[in-house]
Amino acid sequence: MKLHLLTLIAAVLSFAANAALAENVNVYSGRHYDTDLALYDQFTKETGIKVNLIEGKADELIERVANEGQFSPADVLITVDAGRLWRAEERGLFQPIQSEILSSRIPSHLQHPEGKWFGLSKRARVIIYRAAAGLPEGLSSYEDLAKPEFKGLVCVRTSSNIYNLSLMASIIERAGEAEAETWAKAVVDNFARPPQGNDTSQIRAVASGECELSIVNTYYVARFLGSEDEKLRKTAENVGVLFPNQETTGTHVNISGAGVLTHAPNRENAIKFIEFLSSDYAQKILAEGNNEYPAVASVAVSGPVASLGDFEEDQVNANVLGVNQPLAVKVFDRAGWK
């Protein structure tokens, strides 16, 4: 009898353990940082919910979820840039959720108007200049890059780059299509070389004097500043950083963000997971992992990016960066920005 009771208790405990293991959230992520992995482990410790992670390039993950359809095991999609969140939304991949935690902690301009996704961290797209030459007179905004006095001085990435598409989308929202096209044409006239490379290439080009001005994301500059490689630190020290439009609309910002997928098999766990990512603890780690800024305003900025200083950010809703993306492509094409 005693042996039977012990066997029964063991069976119950085994079932309970298996049930606990059955608590999962399946995450498809376009972010690739070891700090994120440690963060997911902490979520499991606090909730008992296991995070099953698949990493990949954002557009490939979006295509994968679309192809998996109603049979997709994915609960959450995390990706970089509001333009990519919009691409996923356009494919019908996100479902709206109601969360008082997310609605109150994430600023309204960094979340989808219907709760389909929420910003988790942010970066600013800034103008850099050669530090030895100093900040050029008459330069304080994105619009100023079109001034004729900067002819032959500007290095940029291609127009197909998602960061530039999102910047153009925000300019269209603020200034209108016609004015945005006029601006883009004038910037093209000021190119020092054909568009090429990534943001890192632009930093090196300005630091070396190949060109005088460029547009980059803050986290690239911060990576150089915080690098253990002395050469990279010196490269960063050779560029100055201007947060544009401080007297007008504010500096353009973009986000990493996450949403609950339409066919999420673990919907409630998915919501808990994203809510956890908005906590003070998670916000600090998410931001520091890629030298970004926390999405939650009350969380202090830390790491090398903090040395760039405070700034006023554009309050246009991040969803606009996707909605205006097709028009941004057309404006760039008409302007000759390759």
Query: In this structure, are residues 27 and 76 in contact, taking their beta carbons and an 8 Å threshold?
Result: yes
The pLDDT tens digits of the residues spanning 261-300 come to: 999 999 999 999 999 999 999 999 999 989 999 999 999 9
If you average pLDDT over every residue of the chain, what do you get?
A: 93
SS3 260: strand
Query: In this structure, are residues 118 and 158 in contact, taking their beta carbons and an 8 Å threshold?
Result: no
- Asked if the model's pLDDT at residue 6 lies above 60, the reply is no
Please name the amino acid found at residue 9.
I
The pLDDT tens digits of the residues spanning 161-193 come to: 999 999 999 999 999 999 999 999 999 999 999
Give the Cα separation of 227 and 133 in Å (integer): 24
- Asked if the model's pLDDT at residue 12 lies above 50, the reply is no
* Residue 197 burial class via C-beta count within 10 angstroms: exposed 0-12, middle 13-18, buried 19 and up: middle
The pLDDT tens digits of the residues spanning 140-155 come to: 999 999 999 999 999 9
Q: If pLDDT is split at 50, 70 and 90, which confidence band does 22 have?
A: low
Give the Cα separation of 251 and 244 in Å (integer): 5
Select from 59, 159, 109, 117 the least CA-distant residue to 320: 109
Residue 95, number of CB atoms within 10 A of its CB: 16
Per-residue model confidence (pLDDT) at position 24: 97
- The string of DSSP letters for 138-164 reads T--STGGGGSGGGTT-EE---TTSHHH
- Asked if the model's pLDDT at residue 7 lies above 90, the reply is no
Domains of the chain: 24-122+255-302 (3.40.190.10), 123-252+320-335 (3.40.190.10)
- Proportion of the chain above pLDDT 70, given as a percent: 93
Task: Please name the residue that has the structure tokens 């108007």.
Answer: 113
Q: What is the mean pLDDT of residues 197-226?
A: 97
Query: In this structure, are residues 121 and 255 in contact, taking their beta carbons and an 8 Å threshold?
Result: yes
SS3 54: strand
The pLDDT tens digits of the residues spanning 82-111 come to: 999 999 999 999 999 999 999 999 999 999
Q: Of 1-10, 229-238, 317-326, where does mean pLDDT reach its minimum? A: 1-10
Per-residue model confidence (pLDDT) at position 1: 44
- Proportion of the chain above pLDDT 90, given as a percent: 91
Q: What is the mean pLDDT of residues 194-210?
A: 97
Cβ within 8 Å of residue 128, ≥6 positions away: 202, 203, 206, 213, 214, 215, 216, 221, 239, 240, 241, 242
- Asked if the model's pLDDT at residue 18 lies above 90, the reply is no
Q: What is the mean pLDDT of residues 301-308?
A: 95
How far apart, in Å, are the Cα atoms of 78 and each of 61, 62, 125?
9, 10, 20
